[in-house]
Structure 1
Amino acid sequence: MNWLALHIETNHAGLEPVETMLSALGIDGVVIDDETEFQDFLENNHQYWDYVDEELEEKMRGASQVTFYLSADEEGFAKMGEVRIALQSLKESRDDCGSLLMTMDDLQDADWENNWKQYYKPMEIGQRLLVIPQWEEADCGNRVPLILDPGLTFGTGSHATTQLCLTALEKAVRGGEKVLDLGCGSGILSIAALKLGAASAVAVDIDDKCLNVAYENAALNGIGKDTYTVKVGDVLGDEAIRAELGGGYDVVLANIVADVIIGLVPMVRSLLAPGGLFLCSGIIDDRAEEVAAHLREAGLEIAETRSADGWFAYTCHF
């Protein structure tokens, strides 16, 4: 079935009147994008981001949107006509609801979930790895294949921060290592470590969606729970999860953001085995020296620095 995706541009004050108008027409399944929620997220989650695209901030400034879906048939177009009439009445009765402009996209069922996949192709990373989407086929040659379905989590391998960490990882793993992946997302880094020859890996993330996604990606690569363990928890704030993790890791990975890495630095020594490596990435360029300073203050020596597209990664040891 084809669908019509309709968007009504408004502002924060107009969200309730627009939603009420649609509900009166029998349209209750709406998606609301509210500028104030976007700003609240930015204000209350500084630890999870370092950079917000200026175009995105400008787009969200003073703008809110209500999205709803109608079937692309006679009934759906008739309902859209009713919405247009009701929208005109709302414009005439109120002047505080923004533009109330309605736009439309044509969608098919498959588009919602699968269209993004066409942009994700096999990628050669470093000297040894080839990241392959589950739905693609590729000639690996002499490279190690890493099959991945990122699902709804961060970590497709396409972002510079992930590539920097993978490049450092393929140099760090030579065989038999015990690996810890902090902020694992799709599991790409810890699974790559196992594919490169690590003996075991533990992966942790605060997002419970990562539990199934990481295990599913491990299975795609022939990796079982005998060598791979995924946990959900906040390593920074939860002593219990820290106790579960223990220590003695040969490689500890953290592809997150600067503030979280800075928070992790004091506990790195307790996680690493003697001679172990701490690989951290996800550091935007204007925070790179700040993170480096915290690493040095904790007694870590930065053995290698990598950068690409305004992002930095460090390989460190005590």
Structure 2
Amino acid sequence: MPWQELRITADSTHAEALSDALFDLGALSVSIEDAAAGTDQEKPIFGEPGEPVEQLWEKSIVVALLEADADAALMATAAANTVRIAPPPFTVSVVEEQDWVRLTQSQFDPIPISSRLWITPTWHECPDSSAISIQLDPGLAFGTGSHPTTRLCLKWLDAHIKGGETVLDYGCGSGILAIAAKKLGAGKTDGVDIDPQAMIASRQNAEQNQVSVDFYLPDQEPQGQYDVVVANILTNPLKALAPLLSGKVRAGGRLALSGILEEQAEEVMAIYGQWFNFAPAVAEEGWVCLSGVKM
């Protein structure tokens, strides 16, 4: 059965209200996109965990999926009336029925991290049978290896896990970094995240990869220090967590931080510099991984 896709042009003031109105009018799903996506005017918007995004794009596209027999033009007008604005420009197109599972799977191929480490969806074989392969599918929590911050941390772990180290993955998401550390030869490995969904995803992924990793919510995490602590979060939480994360690393141990934009690197290093000697930052696509040894 085909569907209809209604795309309404909106400004940042009205995009969310139009989205809510379309849901109330019976839209199957609604999303908001940057009207300049795919051009040199595209603008990324980043939000911190637990905090709302304060402003959308100046010019947005509200995208609604509708039933095949819905009156898309009438819904666009009704949504505008609800928000009390003049009917904005819109387009309607047909979305043909597809094998959505196969379509989604086709968008996720094995990801090479290094000469010996790959991230491989379960519906693929690892291209290198001699490599260490982390089986991971898109799911409930952040972290599939496709984002630069995750790749930076994986490369760092590949270079620094020599075997037997105790490891803490703070803000573990899907558990990918903890699982990678364990597969690379780490000893006792723990993961911590504030999201209960991350606990579910991480435990399922560890079981799928046949590794033993313990995952905790923050109020349940064990005390003590680790040889290696890695945290792929965002800059503001990393700044706030500096005393806690620094206290988790033993003297002479290593810390790796990511989720940091290049222009934020100096600020983060200045905060952690009272505890760590940092190596030069490693950058990829505007993001950095910072790593240091505890004094």
242, 246, 250: which is aligned to 2:223? Answer: 246
SS in structure 2 of the partner of residue 166 of structure 1: helix
Query: 1:70 matched to which residue of 2?
Result: 67
SS at match of 2:159: helix
When residues 301 and 103 of structure 1 are mapped into structure 2, their CA distance, relative to the original with a 3 A threshold, is same
The amino acid of 2:3's aligned partner reads: W
Distance 1:266 1:206 in 2: 17
Alpha-carbon separation, structure 2, partners of 1:172 and 1:67: 46
Asked if structure 1 preserves the Cα contact closer than 8 Å seen for 2:10 and 2:59, the reply is no
- Relative to its length, the structure with more helix (as a share) is 1
Quick check: 1:28 aligned with 2:13? no
Partner of 2:157: 169
- 2:4 corresponding residue in structure 1: 4
TM-score by length of 2: 0.79
Q: Is the 8 A contact 2:196 2:217 kept in 1?
A: yes
Q: Which amino acid aligns with 1:302?
A: F
Residue 282 (structure 2) pairs with residue 282 (structure 1): no
Q: In the alignment, which of 245, 262, 267 is matched to residue 244 of structure 2?
A: 267
Map 1:206-217 to 2 at 5 A.
206-217=194-205
**Bigger Cα Rg:** 1
TM-fit CA distance, 1:137: 1.2
How many residue pairs get matched?
A: 280
> Alpha carbons of 1:195 and 1:304: their partners in 2 closer, same or farther (altered >3 Å)?
farther
Cα 1:269/1:289, change in 2 over 3 Å: closer
After superposition, residues 307-318 of structure 1 pair within 5 angstroms as 307-318=283-294
Gaps of 5+ in 1: 36-41, 234-239
C-alpha displacement of 1:57: 2.2
Give the Cα separation in 1 of the matches to 2:234 and 2:75. Answer: 46
Q: CA 1:204/1:28 → structure 2, altered by over 3 Å: closer, same or farther? A: same
- Note if contact 2:141-2:173 (Cα within 8 Å) is conserved in structure 1: yes
Q: Which moved more, 1:149-158 or 1:162-171?
A: 149-158
RMSD: 3.6
Deviation of 1:30 (Å)? 4.6
Greater alpha carbon shift after TM alignment, 178-187 vs 299-308 = 299-308
- Superposed, which structure 2 residues align to 1:1-318 within 5 Å? 1-9=1-9, 12=14, 15=17, 19=21, 28-32=26-30, 45-46=47-48, 57-60=57-60, 65=62, 67-71=64-68, 76=69, 79-80=70-71, 83-84=72-73, 96-99=85-88, 101-108=90-97, 110-111=99-100, 115-223=103-211, 227-233=212-218, 240-241=219-220, 244-296=221-273, 298-318=274-294
User: 2:110 and 2:16 mapped to 1: Cα distance?
Assistant: 44
Contact 2:168 2:226 in 1 (8 A): yes
For residues 195-220 of structure 1, the C-alpha deviation after alignment (integer angstroms, 9 at most, x for no partner) is 11112221122222212211221122
Tell me: CA distance 1:170–1:263, structure 2 relative to 1, closer, same or farther (3 Å).
same
Asked which structure has the greater RCO (Cα within 8 Å, sep 6+), the reply is 1
Could you tell me which amino acid in structure 2 is paired with residue 255 of structure 1?
Answer: N
Name the CA shift for 1:141/1:254 in 2 (closer, same or farther; >3 Å): same
Q: Percent identity?
A: 31
Q: Which amino acid aligns with 2:85?
A: D
Residues 166 and 228 in structure 2, CA contact (< 8 A), matched pair in contact too: yes
Say if 1:269 and 1:85 are closer, same or farther in 2 by CA, change over 3 A.
closer
CA distance in 1: counterparts of 2:112 and 2:19, whole angstroms:
51
Mark the CA change 1:273 to 1:130 in structure 2 (over 3 Å): closer, same or farther: same
CA–CA distance in 2 between the matches of 1:269 and 1:138?
36
Distance 1:17 1:302 in 2: 45
SS of the residue 2:26 aligns to: coil
Q: Using a 3 Å threshold, how does the CA distance of structure 1 residues 17 and 128 change in structure 2: closer, same or farther?
A: closer
Deviates more, 1:206-215 or 1:100-109: 100-109
**Taking structure 1 as reference, are residues 257 and 48 closer, same or farther at Cα in structure 2, changes over 3 Å only?**
farther
Distance 2:16 2:154 in 1: 46
Q: Closer, same or farther in 2 for the Cα pair 1:115/1:273, shift >3 Å?
A: same
Question: What secondary structure sits across from 1:156 in the alignment?
Answer: coil
